[in-house]
Amino acid sequence: MLDNKNRIVITGCGSISPYGAGVSLLTDNILAQKSSVKFNEELAHIQDLTSLVSSTVPEIDFSYIPRHFRRSMSKMSLFAYGAIQEALDTAGFKKVPGGVSLFIGSTISSMQTWLDFSEKFKKQEFDTIKTTVIFQVMNHSPLANMAQAFDLNGLGLGVSAACATGLMNIGLGYLAVKAGFIDKALCGGTDEYHPMMTGCFAIMNAASNQFNDNPDKASRPFDSKRCGIVCSEGAGIVLLETLDSALKRNAQIYGEILGFGTNTETKSISHPSKECISRCMQIALKNANVSAQEIDFINAHATSTVAGDIEESKAVFDIFGGEVWTNSLKGHIGHTMAASGALELISMLDMMKREKISGTLNLDNIDEQAASVKHFSGVKELKINTFIKNSFALGGTNCSLIVRRFKQ
């Protein structure tokens, strides 16, 4: 029997997205059906690269972060700082309480910093490298930087699970709070864009390359003309605590996490399978003690790749049938990598509260092979109660999180 001490709720949310800073800005733009994808001139100068679009965070002035902390931050840590600050603000913490834990990761450390670092190394200019560079290229750079900047002195875990990083960190944070091992956790993911990111997906023929002249249309999950991922960046953070703690603080509650599931695809390092995705969602349902019939919305991982969207559609149909509304938010913002699971979850929470949910952008003609589930375009007035959020990753990591509108 659950009591308030082992019910886990989300009481703070923070977003740095390709639309800018703030959760409201993210949701407003998604509901306005605006794409953040743009033509990227830098990509056009890379020989033989066929994908020339990306989705990046507009210029944000982070000079308000004290230099002492900012000096060791690459862009992904700056993004994380903005998202954590908003999560703490919305959670009602004017001062960071002691013992807060942090679960945050990125897909890879700062590529630009690594390139600059290795260039100097190759040129025998090693003695011109500054000490603060080291802290930007560590695998757990955002974790280390955020812990210092916000004095987060509880458990620190910087799990990296490629594109599932954000949701994995939220899931692990959820499990740790639920187990009573920690009290409060800031959880999520962050990533900074680099052209090499698009290059990596292009090498695998998985980067969008048919809409370079029409970037708004480039990311189109489940659509018959989809042609790959649009790489993006940002940071998403949620604050988790027990319901007991939230009620005592009179905190606003964005939603209750009911369960988490994760597993690993071992048939292919690059291709997800319907079977493994299905098992992941079933693990989450079991962990949440929720039946498939109770799920009334599915926020898919769907990245706009040819293979991935089909496998996820089939898995969703197998478990939930074809009558549960399904969307992917990557048509709007592209694939924000390590941030994606967290940012998409945060926007879903906000839309659930507003009772207005966006469908998938650029879904002009549903791919026949992905048509078994219930897609939609535009914005629907829907009062959803329990949704599942999926995140999958290159390398085989799958994650599913089940969230419910809060009720006493």
Partner 1 sequence: MMTREEIIKTVNDSLMKEFELKPESMKPDANFFADLGLDSLDAVDMVVVLEQAFKVKIRKNYEVGKIMTLNDLYNYIENLVKENG
- In the complex, minimum distance from the CB of residue 235 to partner 1, in angstroms, rounded to a whole number: 24
Q: Which of 198, 244, 192, 205 is nearest to 56 (CA)?
A: 192
Q: How far apart are the first and last CA of the chain?
A: 14
By CB under 8 A, the residues from 81 to 110 that bind partner 1 are none
Q: How far is the CB of 148 from partner 1 (least distance, A)?
A: 12
Q: Is 48 in the site for partner 1 (CB under 8 A)?
A: no
Binding window for partner 1 (CB under 8 A); candidates: 8-16, 128-136, 191-199, 217-225: 128-136
Nearer to partner 1, 34 or 71 (CB): 71
| C-alpha neighbours within 13 Å on the C-beta side of residue 378 | 2
**68 binds partner 1 per the rule CB under 8 A:** yes
Rounded Cα distance between 77 and 279, Å, is 34
Each residue 10-29 as x (binds partner 1 by CB under 8 A) or -, in order, gives --------------------
Q: At what angle do helices 340-354 and 165-178 cross, to 10 degrees?
A: 70
Which range, of 32-40, 127-135, 195-203, 232-240, touches partner 1 by CB under 8 A? Answer: 127-135
Helix extents (H) in 179-301 = 195-203, 243-249, 274-288
Residue 67 binds partner 1 (CB under 8 A): yes
Q: Report which DSSP code applies to 117.
A: H
Residue selected from 24, 44, 99, 132 as contacting partner 1 according to rule CB under 8 A: 132
**How many Å separate Cα 365 from the centre of its chain?**
26
d(CA 399, CA 281): 8
Q: Give the Cα separation of 385 and 407 in Å (integer).
A: 10
Q: Which is nearer to partner 1, 42 or 125 (CB)?
A: 125
38 vs 120 by CB, closer to partner 1: 120
Residue 61 interacts with partner 1 (CB under 8 A): yes or no: no
Residue 130 in the binding site for partner 1 (CB under 8 A): yes
The answer to whether residue 204 forms part of the interface with partner 1 (CB under 8 A) is no
Q: Of 48, 61, 127, 381, which lies in the binding site for partner 1, with binding defined by CB under 8 A?
A: 127
The number of residues that bind partner 1 (CB under 8 A) is 9
Minimal distance, residue 328 CB to partner 1, in Å: 42
What's the min distance (Å) between Cβ of 128 and partner 1? 6
In the complex, the smallest distance separating the C-beta of residue 322 from partner 1, rounded to whole angstroms, is: 58
Q: What are phi and psi of 90, to 5 degrees?
A: -70, -25
Considering the complex, state which of residue 71 and residue 353 has its C-beta at the smaller distance from partner 1: 71
Residue with Cβ nearer partner 1 (140 or 389): 140
Diameter over CA atoms, the chain: 64
Span from 63-71, 75-83, 209-217, 293-301 in contact with partner 1 (CB under 8 A):
63-71
Place of tokens 């090693």: 126
HEC readout, 331-400: HHHCECHHHHHHHHHHHHHHHHHHCCEECCCCCCCECHHHCCCEECCCEECCCCCEEEEEEECCCCEEEE
CB of 129 to partner 1, least distance (A): 8
8 Å CB contact between 387 and 298: yes
Using CB under 8 A as the criterion, which residues of the chain lie in contact with partner 1 when the complex forms? 67-68, 71, 127-132
